[in-house]
Amino acid sequence: MIPGFRYIVDDIPAAVAFYRELGFEDVGPRAGGFAMLEGHGLRLMLNTAGAGGAGHAADDGKLPSPGGWSRIQLEVPDVDEELRRLSEAGARVRTSRIDGRGGAQAVIEDPAGNAVELFTPA
């Protein structure tokens, strides 16, 4: 079984293009407001709000929405080079390089505003 996670997005084609730049492969099926990708040993499911089971409103009527600070962390060989490459491809940078105890990180956003952390261990 491949561990999976789900992000709510505004635009399926734009999100798929973004995650393909990060090394994910579109594995389908794609239906309405849903797409499935795999990469980095993970399965990524993308839903638009109101589409499919994961996109339905909560009991209080609130629809899921993209954004926030919860994020996946992708280990990359060189955080600076990957940040440069993805910025040139149109990724929005939420935080530039930050050096921490375990290594260097930067946070970018997918087209819907979901956070993705790029991390290079020390």
pLDDT 10s digits, 60-71: 888 778 888 888
Q: How confident is the prediction for the chain on average, in pLDDT? A: 90
Distance in angstroms (rounded) separating the CA atoms of residues 115 and 94 = 8
Distance in angstroms (rounded) separating the CA atoms of residues 122 and 87 = 23
Domain assignment of residue 56, yes or no: no
Q: What is the mean pLDDT of residues 81-98?
A: 95
Residue 121's identity, in one-letter code, is P
Distance in angstroms (rounded) separating the CA atoms of residues 40 and 68 = 22
Which domain CATH number covers 104? 3.10.180.10
pLDDT of residue 57: 75
Structure tokens at 116: 């993705």
Number of domains in the chain: 1
Q: How far is CA 90 from the centre of its chain?
A: 14
0.75 cut: is pTM over it?
A: yes
Q: Which residues span the domain enclosing 11? A: 4-51+66-121
Domain assignment of residue 61, yes or no: no
pLDDT in tens, 6-53: 899 999 999 999 999 999 999 987 777 899 999 999 999 998 877 666
Within the chain, strands assigned E span 4-9, 25-26, 34-39, 42-48, 71-75, 92-99, 103-109, 115-121
